[in-house]
Each structure stands twice: as structure tokens, then as C-alpha cells.
Structure 1
Amino acid sequence: MLGGALLTILIFGAVVALVAGQMRVGLREQILRREADALAAVAALQLDTRAAEYGALPLAEVPGALLVTVLQAARYRGVVAVRVFDGRGNLNAADGIVGELPPPSPEDWRRVVAGESFARLSPVPSGDVLLVPPEDSGQVLEAWVPLRRTGAPAVAGAAQFWLESGAARRELEGHDRRLWVQALAGWGAGSLVIGLGLAWAFRRLTVMNAQLRARSADLERANRELILAAKTSALGSVTAHLIHELKNPLAGLELFVAGQAEAGRDEDGRELAEASALTRRLRTMVNDVVAVLRDEQSAGAFFLPVEEVPALALAKVRAEASARGVSLEASGAGGVELAGRRANLAVLVLRNLLQNAIEAQPVGGWVRLETYVGARGAVAFRVCDGGAGLPEPVRVRLFQPCASGKPGGSGLGLALSHQLALQAGGSLELERSDDAGTCFRLVLAGEA
């Protein structure tokens, strides 16, 4: 950003310098031409006066007439020397010159014969050809003036003046100073405006870039959720039939394993008892899924008090908590109702969170479920434990399918819980996870 701004300001400075240089050349030409135009105007007036004196006789044919006219025009302007040429470019007369000077250049003669007056700062002619050296030994003001009467179609000749350059140079230097001061001030003001404009533009670009990155991240997250939702939806449509088909065989398997466990009292009996407990847990999960599928078909035709949701979730995990020596705590408010479909989905989410929390506790640990009722019927559930916090891989890919750290785990628990929360019209978020424990928060918006 800083490099681009400096480059822009430098380019702007180069443009200002170029424009100021062109203006300087134009101003110098105008100031010097003004000197030549003043001489030309006086010379034209003198030519008109002399023409009246000589009548029809051409001035170029009167010896010294052109020189006298030129000297009358230049006697008050600090003339050092002068040469007069006739209309054909021949030297007619000279004053203040003691040597020879080269003839006018073709370009100078072309311009002056065309009626143009012009002047320039020139070096003092070498060789001491000037009778009276100028005060400034370095430069003189050289002016070319056409000698033409007022209204005449052609010039009668031309005059080449050498004048003192001090006044003209001082005026030019003053204009140069003012021009460069103004150019510097303009460059400074313009640079400030450019800097502020670029700073504002870069700031806007930074904000827009941050917004774009945030929206890209949101879009990526939404795409992941859509993909996961599509997968779970497809999985649900395929497994709905399987769930119903598993229900009756699981019930028979549970009765068989329970009977075998009662019959045996040795090591095999204990293993059968554990198998019976796992079978009973699996049947409970199947029944929960069947209930949710039934609620989907009934489109939420019944309502449950909000206080029954944590009670149902705790009832489903109480036996496992007791077996692991983990205490369950519950607190919260009531007063609102949830549609049956949303309530059952919330029970599934809370049960999964409670089960994860119980499995993370040592013997003597605790798990707490809190219920809050907010404005417009919104409900929030908090599941907290005193464990060691979530593993780093789980925190990094929270609510995304990942490898489970538990034996036999699929790594889909939190991801499916997040999807179930969305299906219930709510959200699931991690409040904290550190050495002091973990807290999840399930929020359900109020009924529309």
C-alpha cells in the first residue's frame, strides 16, 4: 500500500514538473516577445513620422533614414548596439558596433520578414565588437523587429537590437520563483489529496476484502453443512426402513440375551449381562429414531412442556451414569411448550451430549443440564461437565465428521447433533472447553 501511494505521488510530481516547465517556457517567450513588440510599435510610429517627411520616396533609399528611425525608437530602452537591414537582407547601417558580425540566420530572417517580433537572451558577441560593453558581461537581450509602416503590406527592413538584459532577467527570475513555488504548493496539496484518497480507497478495499473472506468462509461452511445435511438426509431415507426392520429382532435378541444372563453366574454370565445392557441401549436408540420418524410424519401435531425435554434426556442416560459413578444434576425453568417434533429432536441432541459428557467423566464426576427460557419463547439448554475438555482434533473440526477418540465410535456424534439442532430450528454451539470441563449450548428459537 505504501509503495503504491509513493509511486502515485512521484508520478504526480513528475507531471506537475513537466507542466510547470512548459508553462515556464511559454511565460519566458511572452515576456521577451513583449520587449520586442514594444520596440516594434515605437519603430512603426517613427516610420510613419519619417514617411510623412520624405513623401513618396522609399525610406530604404534615403541614406541613414532607417537607422535614424530605429535609434529614435530605441533611445529610451537601454540599447547597446543595433544593426539595420533592408528588405532584401542587406546590411543598411549599424550603431555601437566596431567589428564585423555574422549575417542573420535564415530562420531569424524568415520570421522577421514575415512580420514577427521576437527576442531572446543571448551571449554577448565575442571579440569586443560592441562599442559599449553591457553591464552584464555574460548575456544581452537580442531583439529582432520588422520595420514596417502601419498598414503596409511588406516590411521595409529589419532591425537587430542588443539591449541590457538585467531588467528582463530579473523579471524572468521572479516569474520562475513564483511559478515553482506555486507548482510545489500544488504538488503538496495534490499529494495530500491523493494520499488521503488512496488511504480511504485502500481502507475500503481492506474492509471489502475482509468481508469477502468472511463471506467466503460462511459460504464454505454452509456448503459443508449442506453436504452433510444431504448425506444425513440420504442416510435417513435409506435407514428408515432398516430401523423398522431392526426393531423386532432387537427386542427378541434382548429377551434371549437377558434370559441367558440370568441362567449363567460365571464369567460367561457377566459377559452376557454386558451384552444385554448394550442390546437394551441399542433398542432404546432405535425406539428414539422411530419416534422421530413418526413425528416427522405427524408434522408436529402435539406439544410438550419444555421441562419434560431435559427430564426425558436424563432418563435415557441415568442408568449409564449410575453404572459409571457419575452424578447427574438438572436445573431450569419452564412455562413454554415445544412442538413434539422439535422436542424429540432436542431430546436426541441432549442425550448425545449427556452421553458424551458421562463417558468423559472419571468415577465421582458430574454432569449438569440447565434449561433457560428467553424472550418470545426461545429455549436454551446447557450441558456442562467437569472433564478434561475436548481433544484437539475434535475442537479443530467441531461439528464435522472426524475420527472418534472413543473405542467403537464413528466420529459422527457431534456432527449429527449439529444437524439435528438445525432440523429443530435451532443451533448448537460450544461455549467452552478447557481443563475445567466442557459446556455445549443448544438454542431453540421460539415457536412462530
Structure 2
Amino acid sequence: MMKNNAHKKPWRRSWLMPVAVIALTIAVFGGAIFFARIKLRDALQEQIAGRDGEVLYAVTQMLQGNAAENGVAVSSLDEPAEQFNLLLMASRWRNVLATRLFNSKGRFVTAMPEDVTEAKLSDADLEKLRQLRPVCRYYPEVESSELFLLPNENEGRRIPLLEINVPLHASNSTRLAGIAQFLIAGDSIAHEFARLNRHLNQQAWLAFCLGAVILTTALGWAFRRLARQTEDLRKANQQLALVARTSAVGAVAAHLIHGLKNPLAGLQNFVANRPASGEEAPDWQHALASTQRMQALINEVVAVLREEQEGHAYEITPDEFLELVVSQIAPQAREKGVNLETELNAKTSMTNHSANLARLILLNLLQNAVQATPGGKRVRLSMVQEGEQLVAEVADEGPGLPEKVRENLFTPCSSPRPGGSGIGLAISKQLAHHLGASLELKSSTSSGCCFRLAFPLRRDSQLHD
């Protein structure tokens, strides 16, 4: 149980971090939208309330001019009586519940109706009014007893109220003479604010949903790309480690091959000189065939190493290449009783460098295929030219590869085959990379495996470092 939990932890971490970052980003984005909505709502409500204040201020100015033309004493507005006359005329404006009159210092003078409670202006409002700017304030709910001393039809009710303070001054002066306060029923503005809130809520919700989708998509794409880059980096590190390992193996192998060449030749001569008759003759013949195959393999590797060192360059036709590969694997196939079938459909020649590397890869694949195939069944090698590539496929009729082996197929590991080193396919993968080729397991079933090698056919020998 502990082992399973430990195995799941990296997977959990792999998706918990992106989900947490995306959720936190969306939460911050939603908070920003909520804060912006509140600020926008307050600003718009202030503009709506201020609009009525500007209108009422313009009305008082217009009434003052009309009164002067009609001979009503409101021209200077220095006296409270003149101010009250103007207040009476302006109070006929729609939905005015009550009015209050203040002097230039903000002190209460009178009200209409008479049972309106006294009030006091704040210093901040008074400062704005002295600059001849109307001051508006909206109250969503006000108890009627806070406005009137005597009972009225709104007794016990809480009503929306718009308070508008208008500066009073002579038309030819900028000196504040008094202040008219209008208390207006706020039902219409309350409905307007409600519509505004609904509209802002819809817009904020739409912006949040669209933004969340965009953020989720963008961050998801970024995390997926980061995951791919991380995986590519991990694979690159594995490749570098494998290159170092295979390079070391190559250096050791070259040294060992040169060291084994002469002793193996002596062993071959010794076995060849044994008597060809008697009870032990078949064993000596088998030993002779084995030493000859080993000698041929060593000679082949030595030839490849010599060509690489001396820089020899020539071309090999596909027919010659196929013949070289078959000639090396056919003895093993015959010895095990495996039928070797070939197919060739290619015309373009290849360089000896490409042919040597591709042949080593195919020999490793074919040896694995022959060892995995029971006697009486077949191993098939096909080579087909596809554009500028030669595609070779090695298919066997063995039991297939286990799932665990397929997961780490081209990485060094312990081989399930007796005597195997577990590095053959890993070296073949590196050789394919060096050749600029692709090597992959095409299929693996209970009826056999198929490996696919595709390498470019080019006249120039361009190495992949």
C-alpha cells in the first residue's frame, strides 16, 4: 500500500500545481472584476445623482432670471425672504417632498413644510457649495420620522431619498448667498440604480466567464508546453547519459575487438585442425561454425572502424546492401530452423557510412528477431524506398514484447534474454540518431514484433553530431 501511494505522488503533484495556479489566477481576476464593478457602480451612481443636481441648479438660475423680469425681488438673494421666494418657486419641481434653507455659513434658517426637521451641513459639503457646485447624496432607505416632526402618509415607512443642495447666489456674483436643500422622492432613481446594478452584474459575470476561459486556456497551454519542454529536457538528459555510456562502450569495444582478433584466429585454426571423424566431430564442427561467425563479426566491426578512421567514401546499391545483411544473419537463421524472407523495392544508392551504420542496426534487430522466433516460423526483412528515405522493417513471429519491456525499450536495462546485455537496442537507437534515422517499434502482439528503421538516402555523408 505504501508503495502505491508513493508511486501516485509525482502524478498528483504534476496536476495539483497547475490547477492551484489556475484557480488562484482566476480568483485574483474575479476579485479585480468585483472591485472594478463596485468602483464603476459608485462613479455611475454619483453621475446619475449629480445629473439631477445640475438640472435643479440650472432651474434655480432660470427661475431667478424670470422672477427679475416679473418684478419679484430675488435679484440679489442677500435676504432670507428673497431666498425663500426662490425656494418656493423651485420646490414645484417634480417629486419634491420638502425643502430646507441654510445661510451662507451652513446654518439652518427655515423649511417647507414647517414640520420638516432641522438639519446640518457638513464642512465638506459646505466647501463645495462655496465653490458654487451643487452637492447630491442618495439614501436608499430613510425613516419618515427623520424628516418630519408630525405624522404623515409615509409614517413608519422607509423610503429612498435624493438630497440635493443647491448654492444660491446673484446671477452677476460668485459669492454664496445661501443654500437651498431639496429632499426628493428617490423611487425613480432607485429603479434606475437597480437597472444599473443588473446591467453591471451581467457585464461583470460575462467578463469573468470569458476571462476565466481565456486564462484557463492560456495557462493550460503554457503548462502543457512547460510539461512537454520538461519531458523533452528529461529525455535529452537521458540521451546525453546514454551517449556517454555508449561512447564508453564503443571505446572499450574497439579495444577489445582489436585484442580478440588474433586470439580468435588462433582458436579458429585450432578447431579447424581437429579430426573430422569420431563421436566428437559434430561438436567440433559446431564450435568451428561459431568461431567462424565470431571471426566474421569482428572482421566486420574492424572494417567499419577502419573506414571511419581512414575516411573512405563509396556508394552501395540497395541490392548489395541487402546481400551484405542477409549473408551475415542467414547462418544463424538456418542453424535455428527459422525461415528468412526478404523484400526489396529501392533503386537509389547510399554511402558506405550510412550503409555500415544501418547494417549494424539491422543486424541487431535481425539477431533479436531470429532468437525470438521458434523454429519452423519466419523472420521477414523488407526494404522499400519512400521518397528520399529507405524504410526497412524487421518482423518476427515470436511471442511479442511484454508491456514492461516496451515502456523502456530503447533505454539501457537488464535483458530478459539469457546472455543479453540489455544495451543492444539502446546502442541501435544512438546509431540511428547518428545516422539521422528514426528507429521505432511499429507493432508488438502475441503473434510477433515489427521494428521500423527509416534513414535518408543521400549522396553526401552528413553526420549527426
TM-score scaled by length of structure 1:
0.76
Alignment partner, residue 49 of structure 2:
28
Q: Aligned equivalents of 1:214 and 1:142: distance in 2?
A: 63
The residue that corresponds to 1:209 in the other structure is 223
2:347 maps to 335
Deviation by residue 1:265-319 (Cα, 9 ceiling, x = unmatched):
24xx655444433322221221111111122134342222211222222222222
**Do structure 1's residue 428 and structure 2's residue 449 form an aligned pair?**
no
1:252-267 mapped onto 2 (5 Å cutoff): 252-260=266-274, 262=276, 265-266=279-280
Secondary structure at 2:262's aligned position in 1?
helix
Residue 282 of structure 1: SS of its match in structure 2?
helix
Tell me which of 390, 395, 411 is aligned to 2:401: 390
2:384 corresponds to which residue? 372
Determine what percentage of the aligned residue pairs are the same residue.
Answer: 30
The one-letter code matched in structure 2 to 1:410 is: S
For residues 155-304 of structure 1, what are the structure 2 equivalents within 5 Å?
168-169=184-185, 172-260=186-274, 262=276, 265-266=279-280, 271-304=283-316
Q: Shift in Å at residue 86 of structure 1? A: 7.9
The separation in 2 between residues aligned to 1:40 and 1:155, in whole angstroms, is 13
Q: Following the alignment from structure 2 to structure 1, what is the Cα–Cα distance between the partners of residues 105 and 433? A: 104
Cα deviations by residue, 1:41-95 (Å, 9 ceiling, x for unpaired): 7579869957699x9xx986xxxxx547724751573598888788899998888
Structure 1: how far apart are the matches of 2:254 and 2:167? 111
Is the 1:81–1:96 contact (alpha carbons within 8 Å) kept by the matching residues of 2?
yes
After superposition, the C-alpha distances for 1:175-229 in whole angstroms (9 at most, x for unaligned) are 3333442443244235434433442343233334333333433333333333323
Point out the structure with max Rg over C-alpha.
1
CA distance in 2 between partners of 1:333 and 1:384 (Å): 17
Q: Distance in 1 between matches of 2:417 and 2:124?
A: 106
Q: In the aligned structure 1, how far is the partner of 2:125 from the partner of 2:334?
A: 118
Query: 1:408 Cα shift?
Result: 1.4
Aligned AA (2:373): Q
1-side partners of 2:360 and 2:147: how far apart? 114
Change (3 A) 1:424 1:82: closer
Q: Work out whether residues 368 and 383 of structure 1, in 8 Å CA contact, stay in contact via their aligned partners in 2.
A: yes
**8 Å CA contact 1:46, 1:69 repeated in 2:** no
Whichever residue aligns with residue 317 of structure 1, its letter is I
What letter is aligned with 2:91? Answer: R
Residues 1:294 and 1:195: Cα distance change in structure 2 (over 3 Å): same
The 1:442/1:150 distance shift into structure 2, 3 A limit, reads: closer
Distance 2:112 2:386 in 1: 110
Distance of 2:381 and 2:228 partners within structure 1: 33
C-alpha change, 1:108 and 1:199, in structure 2 (3 Å) is: closer
> 1:404 offset after TM fit, Å?
1.2
Residues 87, 99 of structure 2: 8 Å contact kept: no
Q: Is 2:63–2:90's contact at 8 Å kept on the other side of the alignment?
A: no
Inter-partner Cα distance in structure 2 for 1:430 and 1:68: 102
Q: Are residues 129 and 39 of structure 1, via their aligned partners in 2, closer, same or farther at CA, if it must alter by over 3 Å?
A: farther
The more displaced of 7-16 and 430-439 is 7-16
Shift of 1:332: 1.4
Q: Aligned with 2:452: secondary structure?
A: strand
Cα distance in 2 for partners of 1:181, 1:85 equals 34
Task: Name the CA distance, whole Å, in 2 between partners of 1:191 and 1:83.
Answer: 43
Contact 1:388 1:436 in 2 (8 A): yes
Q: Distance in 2 between matches of 1:103 and 1:95?
A: 11
Q: For 2:311, give the aligned amino acid.
A: A
The aligned residue for residue 63 of structure 1 is none
Contact 1:401-1:415 within 8 A present in 2 as well: yes
* Contact 1:304–1:337 under 8 Å retained in 2: yes
**Contact map agreement 2:342 2:382 (CA 8 A) in 1:** yes
2:322 alignment partner in structure 1: 310
SS in 2 for 1:370: strand
State the number of aligned residues: 426
Which amino acid in structure 2 is aligned with residue 219 of structure 1? L
1:351 matched to 2:344: no
Equivalent-residue separation in structure 2 for 1:361 and 1:73 (angstroms): 111
| Cα shift at 1:155 | 6.9
Quote the offset at 1:25 in angstroms: 4.4
Counterpart-to-counterpart distance in 2, 1:205 and 1:90: 61
Cα offset for 1:160? Answer: 7.1
Which whole-Å CA distance do the structure 1 matches of 2:163 and 2:350 have between them? 104
Distance in 1 between the 2:396 and 2:121 partners? 105
Q: Distance in 2 between matches of 1:127 and 1:299?
A: 107
Deviations 1:145-172 (A, max 9, x none): 777655568777x5877x7x6xx32xx4
Deviation digits for residues 416-447 of structure 1 (CA, Å, limit 9, x no counterpart): 22223333342322111111111112222011
Which residue number in structure 2 is paired with residue 74 of structure 1?
A: 88
Q: Which residue of 1 aligns with 2:424?
A: 413
Shift of 1:355: 1.5
Match among 38, 42, 52 for residue 17 of structure 1: 38
Q: Name the residue aligned to 2:456.
A: 445
Distance (Å, rounded) in 1 between the aligned partners of 2:101 and 2:343: 119
Greater shift after overlay, 198-207 or 292-301? Answer: 198-207
Gaps (5+ residues) in structure 2? 1-21, 461-465
